[in-house]
């Protein structure tokens, strides 16, 4: 059970980081963003979209695999949101979004049974 707790908190952290960066990208205040996170970069668009879609996919996966444990999944993802807003500075959020494709592929591969993370 601790694996699922850690995984869903990490998904919440990545999603919250993307949701922090997304308004800056869409409202034109790109001066605080590094060049890779500018709105005209298609790779950054995919990274932010993947981070934003991950919580929905996690809850659906949990609902299919475990039924009503999906409510606990939503709570764990929300805990990740809270931890990000309280403890991680903006530079850390940029780093989390930058490495999110690797972590999300690893996490969802383990959740869907493609490989085992012990």
Residue 85 CB coordination number (10 Å): 13
CB 47 within 8 A of CB 101: yes
Q: Sort residue 113 into left (φ over 0), alpha (ψ -120 to 50) or beta.
A: left
In which band, very low, low, confident or very high, does the pLDDT at 112 lie, cut at 50, 70 and 90? very high
Q: What is the pTM of this model?
A: 0.89
Segment among 13-17, 19-23, 26-30, 52-56 with least mean pLDDT: 26-30
CA-closest candidate to residue 12, choices 70, 51, 68, 64: 51
Q: How far is CA 50 from CA 2, 15, 68, 72, 108, in A?
A: 24, 8, 25, 22, 12
What percent of the chain has a predicted confidence (pLDDT) above 90?
A: 60
Domains of the chain: which residue ranges?
2-111
At 23-38, the pLDDT tens digits run 777 777 777 788 787 8
């Amino acid at each position: 059970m601790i694996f699922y707790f850690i995984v869903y908190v990490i998904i919440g952290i990545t999603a919250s980081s993307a949701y922090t960066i997304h308004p800056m990208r869409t409202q034109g205040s790109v001066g605080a963003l590094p060049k890779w996170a500018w709105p005209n970069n298609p790779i950054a668009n995919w990274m932010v979209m993947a981070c934003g879609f991950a919580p929905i996919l996690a809850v659906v996966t949990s609902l299919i695999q475990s039924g009503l444990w999906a409510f606990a999944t939503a709570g764990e993802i929300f805990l990740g949101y809270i931890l990000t807003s309280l403890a991680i500075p903006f530079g850390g959020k940029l780093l989390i979004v930058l490495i999110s494709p690797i972590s999300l592929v690893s996490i969802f591969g383990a959740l869907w049974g493609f490989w085992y993370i012990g």
